[in-house]
Amino acid sequence: MAGGTESRHGMWSNRWLFVLAAAGSAVGLGNIWKFPYIVGENGGGAFVILYLVCIALVGVPIMMAEVIIGREGRQSPINTMRHLIKQHHRSPAWTLIGWSGVVAGFLILSYYVVIAGWALFYIMQMGSGALEGVSAAEADHLFSDFLADPWQLIFWQTLFMAMTVFIISRGVIGGLETAVRWFMPALFLLMVVLLGYAMTLDGWSEGVNFMFRFDFSSITPDAVLAAMGQAFFTLSLGMGAIMAYGAYVPSSASIFSTVTIIALLDTLVAIAAGLVIFPIVFTNGLETAQGPGLMFVTVPLAFGQMPFGALFGTIFFLLVSFAAITSAISIGEPALAYVVEEYNAKRSRVAITLGAISWVLGLGTVFSFNYWAEVEILGQPTFFDFATFVTDKVLLPLGGMFIALFAGWALPGTVVGSQLGLKEGPMGIIWKLICGVLAPAAVLVVFLASLFG
């Protein structure tokens, strides 16, 4: 049964568990691995400002739109859209939002699990003391040797996928909620410890300066698209993950305050990750624009050279793995909930099947670093680049744009008003302006500018 006050998949025990679960989905590799390296590639401060603007002006309203739609339909994104379309006599084409989310979910999960597997490998490496006192060349070698060995990558990918499937199988309360109850507080605590550590480093002020200086010369249309794409990725928006989680939110929770808290937590963790990584980079005279290797080469190297580095390094990669698993479990939720609904299937069986499909797709990413390193896919240097390009820069922004348009124009104002607890009047008009006009227009402009810029 669609709509109503309960979802058949279960409900978050209270509003705070939704905050933890959604923050768990949002805070992940996007914050700790990707955010610092994109900041590094785009020259620091000015990019950070762009990103913050995208989060506030586009991310928050679209996240609200996803929760509104999800809570109104109380099903998987595909069936929620079908239900709302039927109820309000809208075009069936809107269901494409749900389908594009499922495709994006498979692609993201497939590479996400591979990268998260690297973090598991580095827990072992740091913990065993293998990186103590290594030189930059040695740290670099360790990483490139690791990437060159597909069997190693497959081993860690498989382990991480198995952990993800295990948690998902246990259901919304037993699996998802239990995981975030433990992992999220641990993550925040570990982050504070590492931040305290970074503050003691010689490169602290240089790192802070790099993150917050205003050098606007590095702003290009591509940088703006990267900031926008990162805002969607980091908040888990545009593919229905938050919509799916929104279906399990109790009717009494306030959407605006809940979403604001989630976006703030996500932003704080990303900024904190930058403030941990860049001081390490500067203290050791390393490169900021290293790309995806930034975390996996410079961080182990830096920790390997510092007192108690093995301990802090292990903590760091544990933190990355916690963050990654609470995100990974959300990426498959839209597809999983849909199959469960359509075929009345057992959640655990569906989880295993979807995990297996995504694992196979993930081999494309595994081989992007060895066998297929030279194989271009549709103009992108590797399969991995193709998967990240299609998801971050195309499917998520466009999906988000249509979600905002749906919430802004296709859903009746009374429905949105009652979800937001707003009466007719100026607040309703402001909402419509932001969600129906401003946010989708911003996505479109950025998208077109980078396409033709």
State the residues that interact with ligand PFF by CB under 6 A: 25-26, 28-31, 108, 233-234, 236, 239, 241, 327, 330-331
Q: How far is the CB of 53 from ligand PFF (least distance, A)?
A: 18
CB nearer to ligand PFF: pick between 28 and 43: 28
CB nearer to ligand PFF: pick between 234 and 288: 234
Q: Among residues 420, 53, 401, 28, which one has the least CA distance to residue 258?
A: 420
CB nearer to ligand PFF: pick between 68 and 108: 108
Q: What would the 3-class secondary structure string for 316-353 be? A: HHHHHHHHHHHHHHHHCHHHHHHHHHHHCCCHHHHHHH
Specify the DSSP element, H or E, that contains 11: none
CB nearer to ligand PFF: pick between 160 and 233: 233
CB nearer to ligand PFF: pick between 305 and 391: 391
Strand partners of residue 380: 377
Q: How far is the CB of 323 from ligand PFF (least distance, A)?
A: 7
229 Cβ partners below 8 Å, 6+ apart?
Answer: 392, 393, 396, 397
Q: Kindly report the CA angle at 409 between 407 and 410, in degrees rounded to 5?
A: 75
Q: How far is the CB of 366 from ligand PFF (least distance, A)?
A: 19
Whose CB is nearest to ligand PFF?
Answer: 30
Q: How far is the CB of 144 from ligand PFF (least distance, A)?
A: 24
CB nearer to ligand PFF: pick between 84 and 237: 237
Q: How far is the CB of 126 from ligand PFF (least distance, A)?
A: 21
Q: How far apart are CA 78 and CA 347, in angstroms?
A: 17
Q: What type of residue sits at position 104?
A: A
Q: Kindly report the CA angle at 44 between 232 and 292, in degrees rounded to 5?
A: 65
Q: How far apart are CA 25 and CA 97, in angstroms?
A: 19
Cβ atoms of residues 41 and 289 within 8 Å = yes
Q: 291: which DSSP letter?
A: G
Cα-Cα-Cα-Cα dihedral sign, residues 356, 180, 59, 434? positive
Residue with tokens 């849909």: 338
CB nearer to ligand PFF: pick between 31 and 388: 31
CB nearer to ligand PFF: pick between 134 and 235: 235
Q: How far is the CB of 265 from ligand PFF (least distance, A)?
A: 12
Q: SS3 for 380? A: strand
Q: How far is the CB of 25 from ligand PFF (least distance, A)?
A: 5
Cβ atoms of residues 404 and 440 within 8 Å = yes
Tokens representing 269 are: 């963790």
Q: How far is the CB of 280 from ligand PFF (least distance, A)?
A: 21
